[in-house]
Each structure stands twice: as structure tokens, then as C-alpha cells.
Copies of this chain bind each other. A is one copy, B any other.
Amino acid sequence: MLTFIGLGLYDEYDISVKGLETIKNADKVYLEFYTSHLFGTTIENMEKLYGKKVHILKREDVEQYPDWIDEALDKDIVFLTGGDTMVATTHVDLRIRAIDKGIKTSVVHGASIASAVCGLSGLQNYRFGKSTTIPFSYTTSRGKKIISEAPYDTIKSNFEQGLHTLVYLDIDMEKGYMTINKGLEILQEIDKNRGNNFIEDKVSIGIARAGSDNPSIKADYIRSLIGFDFGEPLHIIVIPGPLHFIEAEALVKLADGPEQILEQT
């Protein structure tokens, strides 16, 4: 049996009781931390809680040569990931490979940032549209700067449909974890390049360290929020559509938002 377990949001205690029991009963524990990462813990602390060694998988072990799944033919193997499990395509692909080999699979869910942002900000779940990711810009060999405009278009399209956008921020091996500030700067740059004035006056919410005891949640107009210090990763942005009154009130009370937004609903 190969069991996919979501570790939840922040530290080793965010796993479900069911997930922890499954690990304790497993023959072997694998973990991948490259699609997502728990910032509030270490492998040592996880091993201490589980009473078991944790084997860390590299990207190639998951995506190219996942030979280790064969052990699940006759042993109980668990595969741990941050957040909820099987949200990344690569996990789905792994599960299909396992099934093709005749391996039984199951899933133990964990908390995901996708629903956590609602609880932290007070924004209503059913008013979120398609989510998006802002990648780092890069420079071609000919010196041209490439900025993906897809996230900007998603945000704009959602806004025009009255919907909120959850904006994931790039994780890059070399450039590290994109901050809220950097993400907003990129959106601002696209706005300028297009000669638009869509971004500046919008309200945005930055959330850092969701799931921890001291998450940082701050709502403000983007022109102001861009200078706010959110501290340590992981960061995420929400760009809301037009706000309902109770949402505006929640942003003022839960996210220290500017009181003017109450008048704009």
C-alpha cells in the first residue's frame, strides 16, 4: 500500500491524527519538500514525532525514477508532502504509476492554503475564481527581460467577473521564495508596461506563515502594501474582487485593512 499524506500548512503538528497514526504503522516513510515546504519544522523534529526515519526524495526520484514505489507492492509505504496531498500534478502522476504497477493506494488529506486563506482573511470561499502563480521574471541570452503576464490576466478576468484571486508565489531553486512585495512589484510592472491603471488602487491581502501561531495578515491598497514587511516565508497574495460588506469588515478587523474599504462596498 502506498499512502499519500498531506502534512498541512506549517509545522509537524499540522498533520491529522489519522495521518500520524498511518506513519507510525508504516514500514517506510518518504517525503518530498520541493513542491511545497513546511517552514515551522525540521526533518529532525518530524522524525522525533514519528519515531521513524524520514527519507527525502529529490525531484528526479519523484518525477523520473520513482523506483522506490515498488516497495509498496508488499510493504506499507507513506509519501509525505506539504499542504494537502495530490494537489501537484506530479503527485497525481505518481499515483497513476503506482496503480499501473498494481500497487494499492490511498490518501490522507491535510489542510491546504487554498481554504486557509478564507479563514485568515474572512473572504468568502465561493467568491474565488481560478487561482494563479506569479513566476520570477528572467532575462534571455539576448538580454530581453521576460515577465509572464498570465497571472495579471487571470486576476483582471476574475475581478471583472466579481471574483477573488488566490495568487501563489514562485519557488525557485536559485532565487528562493518569492515575497509578497516582489509579486506585487511584478504585477505593477505589467500594469505600467500595458499603460493600465488596474493594479495601483486595488486592495490586496498578503498572508505569511499561514498555519503558524503568528501568521502575518495585512490588507491594504497595493501602492501601500508593496512596502509592508511580512517577515519569513511562505508568502501568498489574494487580490479580491469587489468586496461584500462583511468581507470588507473582516479585512478591517482580521487583516488590519484601511477603513476606507468599508465605504467602497
Interface residues of A (CB under 8 A from B): 4, 6, 8-9, 11-18, 20-21, 49, 83-87, 89, 91-93, 95-96, 99-100, 106-107, 109-112, 114-116, 118-120, 122, 124-133, 157, 161, 163, 210-211, 213, 246, 249-250, 253-254
> How close is A67's CB to chain B, nearest CB, in angstroms?
20
> Do the beta carbons of B84 and A111 come within 8 Å of each other?
yes
* In contact, A122 and B86 (Cβ under 8 angstroms): yes
**How many angstroms between the C-alpha atoms of A106 and B6 in the bound complex?**
22
Cβ–Cβ contact B111 & A116, under 8 A: no
Q: How far is the CB of A20 from chain B (nearest CB, A)?
A: 6
Bound-state CA distance A13–B25 (Å) is 15
- Asked if B122 and A114 make an inter-chain contact with CB atoms under 8 angstroms apart, the answer reads no
The listed residue (B16, B112, B129, B210) touching A15 by CB distance below 8 A is: B16
Asked if residues B254 and A96 are in contact (CB atoms below 8 Å), the reply is yes
B122 in contact with A96 (CB, 8 Å): yes
> A11 contacts which chain B residues (CB < 8 A)?
18
Identical chains in the assembly: 2
Contact of A107 among B6, B96, B119 (CB under 8 A): B119
Give the residues in chain B near A126, CB-CB below 8 Å. 130-133
Of the candidates A91, A92, A107, A129, the one having the most CB atoms from chain B within 10 angstroms of its own CB is: A92
Q: Give the residue among A15, A20, A87, A115 with the most B Cβ atoms within 10 A.
A: A115
- Which B residues are in CB contact (< 8 Å) with A17? 12-17, 20, 49
| Chain B positions within 8 Å of A9 at CB level | 109
A112–B122 Cα gap in the complex (Å)?
16
Contacts of A132 in B (CB 8 A): 126
Nearest-neighbor residue (CB-CB) of A123 within chain B: B92
Complex Cα gap A128–B85 (Å):
17
Given contacts A84-B119, A125-B87, contact A16 B21 (CB under 8 A): no
Chain B nearest CB, measured from A115 CB (Å): 4
B96 pairs with A253, CB closer than 8 A: yes
